Structure 1
């Protein structure tokens, strides 16, 4: 590339005999919006760490602004204008917006004094550069994820960033916030700042990227202008598989719903919500931020008890004031954040699976029966195809897809009748998503009633037989025939650009 800001040439890297990258090259132009895609384990993380000087390659060279660097250190990469924004954003939650944006500049000066006036001025200039406004005195821990991202981007710009690498920046923000983030990226492009964007979400790749580099099993498949790709081609190039979805068909309804919600309300969260759910159904629940969808799910699981209304199971009124109540009644809940809410990340796979059913595994003396435990662990390792040499492997060492299977196993071990899944495939690659979706369908075919909460419209359309759209705490619309609705039409309903009712 004639006007390349960065080139990675012939990069190879192995870890303990595992070849993470093999002869991979990448070129990013000045002001270019470039997307790096591939399944978990394809080498994306290793490549961006090499570009950022965090990891040293076994072979190859990184060229920045025409200057080759055989052994690039992290501080050198920063001084050359490379900034990496990881998923955790690496902000100081207890410090203010101004402090987070300006902190690194004062550290580099190695002075013992801080000018608060200058700190505010640096932050103000940085935000103004991308047309953003945030209260500079606000503590970062009080900001939304989307606002924290703006703080992280602004911090990068104050350090003269010429290339900003964003690792899964949209995994925890809403559609509205994604659009806003993309408008910021477009402003960066206009200023000549390049962006390397890593994502598993195909619709976002097509929306923002100019060029897509695809990795598979540590090798580069190729570089492609976005206009030359579509969903099917990109999926095939990433996975080597042709993945197709067929609409999910629920079985015939029983005379009495398995779950019925009547006029459920909680002040400030949701109002007068009513719906029914039958065995074997996969019900989609979607809506914008603040719509009340997760708050409703938490109410059904006893973590956000309603002020009024009724919950009925098999036609009988149920009192659910705690997760223990929900569990006894056969309701399971897979939370949106699997790492902090769904898993004991430092514990073994087996510990995570059996934690919900310990009482069932007790022997005659009230002690945990090792044989029952092993049987339970073995069943779910096999049934959900969790890829690990044994149940003793720690959960933190697993891929995102396998971690999600462990959370599924934890709740499936309780034998739920109703299973609520909030963002079941967040941060998971395409092939793993398909596997999770197949598991969900298999559970529904066994008669479990399932609720999928998601703002990924394709996920809702491909896997649900019916959809509820929430808006500002109310049910905006119920879609009975999902197969008759297109992605654009459902997006319009979610965004409030289509009338209320049932279709």
Structure 2
């Protein structure tokens, strides 16, 4: 197995920033850049979010802007889109002409559009209304011409090669369809440069391929796309160059031809990582979870598997394979129609998630923002949300000292980087938010931990930290079921890998005894 092909570094890491050789630009684009920036700096209260950054993108180019969370990517995009003003001495040129006094309106007039991760769509409005929204903006109120709106929306969707009913509400669309609507809205506004912030974070493999096809179509039409993604395989597949930022500084711009995910990870983090499959001897370990012929009509059928003490079992497969549906039944959220579940040899009849928690099962959902955390509540409140009963004193009120000790203990154990426990959890990076989710469930002292896509929206450096925690939990004897559609994640972090398709387990793999390429061929066949 060639480690350079991997997208999921093992959590053990060696080296420091100083171990990675100094880097310089290795690729210079030919011709006049569509957008060129020099000496871009941005300070917030004396903190340097950006320091002497340079950036350029060519007409029709698909460029990746890469770096860990907090490296300055979003700040740079906000400078380019006119939300932030750079420090003096910055130079910004569009088509070789200097840009002065850039604000959001002027950026839109220049053809600069940003599609943020939250998409900023209106869920109750129709597809056509969302796509043609900006056409109805102006200094004076005016009547909306719905016929022209639908014509414009239809023309753009046809240009993208996509068929979505114009009268459907955006709320009824899948995430992938909403991405298309956001792209179409940018094109209606005559976009020449489109920034896409984590466009595939919540998409399946098939949906991602469809989106990348649209990105290539935009490029062929001469529209430049700047792609921001933590999924490095996509970056190297769709982009021609990658610009790397680290700690607010410019690291370099490199051609993706010949670039490996390992090397790109090193450039982004300033660290090197070890890539190796797990080699844990679990032959004598007792079985913690055993399910036999578990079925739920329309979701999964005759699923049998076991997870031993200290074992990480990976489950992968394409969208609709039934992985999340199986996890929900194991957590008591849905009831199977047939089959049995046993924990530590004792049969379980789970009527709710409370039954599962009492039995010793914890579940980290794939949707951290909606199901894993209450974004408006504090870090502390989220951490103790699943164990409030255990914090009550003799008066049946929460004991403040017991609560604070528990919060402090998990923040320290999982090395969660926070300001104060009373800060809203929404103030944290994706990686630290995911650690809070883990803390919440680990506080229940589970025997079985189910992790459903635990690194969605988490950068590569933070992923390594999360998997280091997962490995440590397994070493301490916890049984772990790891669900992910990113095959390298299960390949390098699981003791065994199960392939699920159409609701059934169709193959078993032992990492090391098979190649990652073979698993990927089987899954995507």
Verify same fold: TM over 0.5: yes
Q: Distance in 2 between matches of 1:340 and 1:23?
A: 37
Q: Distance in 1 between matches of 2:155 and 2:92?
A: 31
Q: State whether structure 2 residue 472 is matched by structure 1 residue 454.
A: no
Alignment of 1:340-379 (within 5 A): 340-379=370-409
**Aligned match of 1:86:** 116
DSSP-derived class of the 1:431 partner: helix
Q: State whether structure 2 residue 43 is matched by structure 1 residue 14.
A: yes
Query: Which range moves more in the overlay, 232-241 or 244-253?
Result: 244-253
Q: Distance in 1 between matches of 2:242 and 2:518?
A: 28
Contact 1:254/1:278 (CA < 8 Å) preserved in 2? no
1:26 to 55, 60, 76: 55
Contact 1:421/1:451 (CA < 8 Å) preserved in 2? yes
The Cα of 1:33 is off from its aligned counterpart by: 0.5
Q: Distance in 2 between matches of 1:459 and 1:257?
A: 23
**Aligned match of 1:471:** 501
Q: State whether structure 2 residue 156 is matched by structure 1 residue 126.
A: yes
- Show structure 1 runs of 4+ deviating over 6 A: none
DSSP-derived class of the 2:445 partner: coil
Alignment of 1:24-423 (within 5 A): 24-59=53-88, 60-108=90-138, 110-254=140-284, 256-423=286-453
DSSP-derived class of the 2:132 partner: helix
Q: Distance in 2 between matches of 1:363 and 1:250?
A: 42
DSSP-derived class of the 1:50 partner: helix
Q: State whether structure 2 residue 520 is matched by structure 1 residue 487.
A: no
Gaps (5+ residues) in structure 1? 498-503
Q: Distance in 2 between matches of 1:260 and 1:293?
A: 16
Distance 1:163 1:346, change over 3 A: same
**Aligned match of 2:455:** 425
Q: Distance in 1 between matches of 2:407 and 2:151?
A: 57
Q: Distance in 2 between matches of 1:249 and 1:142?
A: 45
Contact 2:278/2:511 (CA < 8 Å) preserved in 1? no
TM-score scaled by structure 1?
0.96
Contact 1:168/1:197 (CA < 8 Å) preserved in 2? yes
The Cα of 1:255 is off from its aligned counterpart by: 6.9
DSSP-derived class of the 2:273 partner: coil
Q: Distance in 1 between matches of 2:131 and 2:451?
A: 36
Deviations 1:281-330 (A, max 9, x none): 11111111111111111111111221222111112210112110000000
Q: Distance in 2 between matches of 1:440 and 1:14?
A: 37
Q: Distance in 2 between matches of 1:34 and 1:137?
A: 34
Contact 1:265/1:271 (CA < 8 Å) preserved in 2? yes
The Cα of 1:392 is off from its aligned counterpart by: 2.4
The Cα of 1:362 is off from its aligned counterpart by: 1.7
Q: Distance in 2 between matches of 1:492 and 1:352?
A: 40
Contact 1:12/1:24 (CA < 8 Å) preserved in 2? yes
TM-score scaled by structure 2?
0.92
Query: Which range moves more in the overlay, 148-157 or 412-421?
Result: 148-157
RMSD of aligned Cα (Å): 1.4
Contact 1:251/1:281 (CA < 8 Å) preserved in 2? no
Q: Distance in 2 between matches of 1:321 and 1:254?
A: 32
Q: Distance in 1 between matches of 2:517 and 2:37?
A: 38
Gaps (5+ residues) in structure 2? 1-28
Q: Distance in 1 between matches of 2:341 and 2:315?
A: 17
Distance 1:255 1:444, change over 3 A: closer
Q: Distance in 2 between matches of 1:411 and 1:404?
A: 11
Distance 1:137 1:311, change over 3 A: same
DSSP-derived class of the 1:351 partner: helix
Distance 1:57 1:329, change over 3 A: same
Query: Which range moves more in the overlay, 318-327 or 484-493?
Result: 484-493
Q: Distance in 1 between matches of 2:428 and 2:401?
A: 25
DSSP-derived class of the 2:512 partner: helix
Q: Distance in 2 between matches of 1:133 and 1:488?
A: 33
Query: Which range moves more in the overlay, 348-357 or 159-168?
Result: 348-357
Distance 1:384 1:261, change over 3 A: same
Q: Distance in 1 between matches of 2:81 and 2:208?
A: 25
**Aligned match of 1:4:** 33
Contact 2:322/2:500 (CA < 8 Å) preserved in 1? yes
Q: Distance in 2 between matches of 1:483 and 1:350?
A: 41
The Cα of 1:253 is off from its aligned counterpart by: 3.9
The Cα of 1:260 is off from its aligned counterpart by: 0.9
Contact 1:256/1:315 (CA < 8 Å) preserved in 2? no
